[in-house]
A = this chain, B = another copy of it.
Amino acid sequence: MEISKYPSKILEEAVEEFAGLPGIGRRTALRLVLHLLKKDKEEVASFGNAILQLKEKIKKCKICNTISDEDICAICSNPNRDRSVICIVENVRDVLAIENTSQYNGLYHVLDGLISPMDGIGPKDLEIESLVKKVEQGEIAEVIFALGATMEGDTTNFYIFRKIEPFHIKITMLARGVAIGDDLEYADEITLGRSISQRTIYESTLKP
């Protein structure tokens, strides 16, 4: 059902704004707006202001390009992080995902996309030059490729690899294999094949 008649212009505007977000149709948008209408005026004002502040106050970290409230983000300015390791990610969501594992203590470099000739995105559109400069300066010991396991991710990995290979640093990538909790029968052939050829020494997860 596509709603086409709204009893209020202001309601319609708000619905259209929500419906412009990815994955939200007009029907869901209407439900969300009607939900907001039931809230207190202060709560709705705080919602509206949180959105207004987004573009006004959020910056990009001058070192790693992740979003930040300051010129330098909390990760890059943290003296306890290992500044000799850089993890290359596609976007800010990937930074959050890896941070959330608490398994990584180095810095990041956000590319802001992947090389994708189909979409007209070339190396110049991404933050690759600034990455190469960091490596050139000679203080980086390891670069970790943490891009998605897609054709675009592989292309970007390879492009960057060729650019930083001359500097003879360690270049690693995320392990590929069967996801924890997955049944073998649901793993695709390439992942499963790779998890056999690159098998690791058994370590029991049940050890005390």
Residues of A whose CB lies within 8 Å of any CB of B are: 1-11, 13-14, 16-17, 20-24, 28, 30-37, 39, 41, 44-58, 61, 66-69, 73-75, 91-93, 95-97, 99-100
Contacts and interface: CB of A to CB of B under 8 A. Distances in A.
- Enumerate the 3 nearest inter-chain pairs by beta-carbon distance, A residue then B residue, closest first: A48-B52, A48-B51, A41-B55
Contacts of A2: 100
A21 B37 CA distance: 12
A69 B32 contact: no
A31 B67 contact: no
A104 to B, nearest CB: 12
A67 B7 contact: yes
Contacts of A41: 55-56
Contact of A96 (B5, B75, B96): B5
